[in-house]
Amino acid sequence: MKGDLLWIYEGLTQYLGDILTARTGLLTQDDVRDKLAIVAADLDRKAGRKWRPLEDTAIAAQILYDARDDYAEYRRGVDYYDEGALIWLDVDVMIRQLSQGAKSLNDFCRLFEGGPGGAPALKTYTLDDVVVALNTVQPYDWATFLGTRVKTVEPHAPLGGLERGGWKLVYNSSRSDFWNATEIERKVWDFTYSIGLIVKEDGTVQDVALGGPAQKAGIAPDDKLFAVNNRQWTAQVLRDAVQRTASVPDPIELLVKRGEYYSTHRVEYTGGEKYPHLERDEASPDLLTKILQPLAPKAP
């Protein structure tokens, strides 16, 4: 299997899937922005960015699909889906800016993915083919643009499309409807951006953030929470304890079972709950909203 270009195929279809849900009304624009915020925050903090370029998550796809959940941020997963979507958003915004609104990624898709009609045909492609098509739509150094985002180790996620599209990634104590729905569907409670912990419904720790407060307190994946500040563990009890740290800077005490042994861990953290959102940046034109709007019908 040669998967190095999966970020093109899967990343582009992921991006189109995100924006088409807004264009068709299946999700609101707020929902799509909330989803993009979750994706951007998750990718931006991954410790694995220090050693693994995006292209390698595609090359190693057949291994990463079945990888364990623990310490996932250091390993990275099949990130070419979501990070590929952010890259194609970046491309879309760049085309719109360079062409002063005359062109967009829609034009690339018509050129590169559209066909003459008739019988189905299988047509393979290379990265050079993609670069040529992009340059046909809007001249630019697309080879360098894509290469630096895909082939090199980058410490942060490619947030240029969001930022130049008029939005910025922020964190606050409010959980979006999309965040709540995701937790309920997956039956995990995500405290990654506060105490650095992801907990399953039964209290089992799915993962810890490397270098986060929970890991520093000695908590590890597969530990099981039994009590929070001497109260029986529930997701809401832990959530209340985390939010309380915004006003009362006391450690959170967690009673944990590991194998046959119980232990108490003091998690040093202040700041309350933290969840990702996109916030409008008035310093830049709002291209993201325009991207998410339904397409105007073409004249006959």
Cα–Cα distance for residue pair 193/203, rounded to 1 Å: 18
In single-letter form, the type of residue at position 10 comes to: E
162: pLDDT strictly greater than 90:
yes
Q: Average pLDDT for residues 19-47, to the nearest whole number?
A: 96
Domains of the chain, by residue range, sit at 6-169+282-292, 177-273
User: Percentage helix, strand, coil, to 5, in the chain?
Assistant: 45, 15, 40
**Chain-centroid distance, C-alpha 12:** 15
107: pLDDT strictly greater than 70:
yes
Architecture of domain 177-273: Roll (2.30)
In single-letter form, the type of residue at position 64 comes to: L
Residues 252-276 have pLDDT tens digits of 999 999 999 999 999 999 999 999 9
299: pLDDT strictly greater than 70:
no
Helix (H) or strand (E) holding 264: strand 261-267
Predicted local distance difference test score (pLDDT) of residue 187: 93
| R_g of the chain, CA atoms, integer Å | 22
Burial classification of residue 96, based on how many CB atoms lie within 10 Å of its CB (0-12 exposed, 13-18 middle, 19 or more buried): buried
Are the C-beta atoms of 91 and 107 separated by less than 8 Å?
Answer: no
Predicted local distance difference test score (pLDDT) of residue 117: 80
Predicted local distance difference test score (pLDDT) of residue 300: 65
Q: Average pLDDT for residues 271-295, to the nearest whole number?
A: 96
Residues 194-224 have pLDDT tens digits of 999 999 999 999 999 999 999 999 999 999 9
Residue 111: band (very low, low, confident or very high) from pLDDT cuts 50, 70, 90: very high
Predicted local distance difference test score (pLDDT) of residue 115: 76
Residues 122-159 have pLDDT tens digits of 888 999 999 999 999 999 999 999 999 999 999 999 99
In single-letter form, the type of residue at position 251 comes to: P
Residues 44-89 have pLDDT tens digits of 999 999 999 999 999 999 999 898 888 989 999 999 999 999 999 9
Domain 6-169+282-292 -> CATH class: mainly alpha
β-bridge mates for residue 197, sequence order: 208
Lookup: tokens for 258: 């590991």
Predicted TM-score (pTM) of the model is 0.93
If you write DSSP's letter for every residue of 86-105 in order, what string do you get?
HHHHHHHHHHHHHTTTS--H
Across 12-16, 41-45, 71-75, least confident range: 71-75
